[in-house]
């Protein structure tokens, strides 16, 4: 409770100070809008429904892209963990790809798929799949050998061992991988939409920027931040913590 109170007071004073400075120094809204302008712009986009239209368009791409990213990432992660040759060859490519921000692929993606949904979804998949691959691989490689030995003495081997012991044992890494994949995919999505077509949050942001509507730009930035925080803190961190506790990786 103490913490929440502290934060509320902090944010209120930041906004008040911001508003005050803008008015006293009469900063033009094109340079930096006042919080009240941002709020009005947010209200407007809620009222005329554009915010929800953009949100649903963005979430549709995110959902498809993230789902495919998790699927591809899991498959690749399992392959790298199980095959030494794949790990030594393909694994190095994946590590190299990790250091390229996925948005850098957009020009190529537009050449391949055209200036449309598919190009953006491709960027989202790339953003999420690589981090998922790395986490799944690490998870499978780090299974405590005692679980494997115990299962073997109970007659488990081959596929049975893989599905009943190795996969469940690495679930905490799957969860962490999903959380990170979401974070990467979300950023990739915004960047992709910014440089591609609409509708979508990123596209509307670009549109607002072209017309010098910095109040709308900041309103969308706040929406992007809120969604990011909500998904990460409220959803993924909680699941992750619960799983890690149950798997005995953390004491409460």
Partner 1 sequence: MFLYLKNICKSFENHGKKELVLKNIRLRVEKGEFVSLLGPSGCGKSTLLSIIAGLEKPTDGAVYLDEKPVIRPGKDRGMVFQQAALFPWLTVEENICFPLRKEMKKKEALAVAHKYLELVQLRPYAKYHPHELSGGMQQRVAIARALAMDPEVLLMDEPFSALDEQTRMMLQQELENIWMETRKTIIFVTHSIQEAITLSDRIIVMGRHPGRIIKEFSVNIPRPRNEYLHEFSAYEKEIIQLLKLEIEKKEEVDSSYAVSS
- Residues lying near partner 1 in the complex (CB under 8 A) are found at 146-147, 149-157, 160, 164-165, 168-169, 171, 245-248
Cβ nearer to partner 1, comparing 102 with 135: 135
Sequence-distant (6+) residues with CB within 8 A of 102 are: 123, 124, 126, 127, 130, 184, 188
Give min distance, CB of 246 to partner 1, in A.
Answer: 6
Question: What is each CA distance from 180 to 90, 116, 202, in whole angstroms?
Answer: 21, 25, 20
Give min distance, CB of 83 to partner 1, in A.
Answer: 23
Give min distance, CB of 168 to partner 1, in A.
Answer: 5
What is the DSSP code (8-state) at residue 125? H
Cβ nearer to partner 1, comparing 60 with 163: 163
Give min distance, CB of 155 to partner 1, in A.
Answer: 4
Cβ nearer to partner 1, comparing 84 with 149: 149
φ/ψ of 153, rounded to 5, equals -70, -15
**What length is written for the chain?**
252
> Would you call 9 exposed, middle or buried from its count of C-beta atoms within 10 A (0-12, 13-18, 19+)?
exposed
Cβ nearer to partner 1, comparing 2 with 153: 153
Cβ nearer to partner 1, comparing 169 with 201: 169
Give min distance, CB of 214 to partner 1, in A.
Answer: 50
> Would you call 145 exposed, middle or buried from its count of C-beta atoms within 10 A (0-12, 13-18, 19+)?
exposed
Give min distance, CB of 176 to partner 1, in A.
Answer: 16
Cβ nearer to partner 1, comparing 120 with 175: 175
Sequence-distant (6+) residues with CB within 8 A of 78 are: 136, 137, 140
């Amino acid at each position: 409770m103490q913490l929440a109170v502290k934060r509320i007071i902090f944010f209120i004073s930041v906004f008040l100070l911001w508003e005050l400075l803008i008015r006293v120094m009469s900063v033009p809204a094109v340079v930096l809008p006042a919080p009240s302008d941002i709020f009005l712009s947010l209200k407007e986009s809620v009222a005329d429904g554009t915010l929800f239209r953009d949100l649903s368009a963005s979430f549709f791409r995110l959902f498809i892209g993230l789902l495919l990213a998790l699927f591809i990432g899991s498959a690749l992660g399992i392959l790298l963990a199980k095959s030494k040759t794949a790990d030594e060859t393909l694994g190095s490519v994946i590590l190299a790809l990790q250091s390229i921000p996925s948005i850098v692929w957009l020009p190529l993606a537009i050449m391949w798929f055209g200036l449309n949904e598919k190009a953006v979804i491709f960027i989202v998949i790339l953003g999420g799949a690589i981090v998922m691959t790395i986490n799944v691989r690490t998870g499978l490689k780090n299974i405590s050998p005692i679980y494997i030995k115990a299962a073997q003495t109970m007659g488990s081997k081959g596929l049975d061992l893989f599905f009943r012991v190795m996969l469940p044992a690495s679930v905490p890494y799957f969860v962490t991988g999903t959380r990170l994949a979401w974070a990467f995919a979300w950023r990739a999505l915004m960047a992709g939409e910014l440089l591609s077509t609409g509708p979508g949050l990123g596209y509307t942001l670009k549109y607002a920027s072209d017309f010098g509507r910095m109040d709308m730009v900041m309103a969308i930035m706040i929406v992007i931040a809120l969604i990011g925080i909500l998904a990460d803190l409220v959803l993924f961190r909680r699941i992750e913590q619960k799983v890690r506790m149950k798997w005995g990786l953390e004491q409460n």
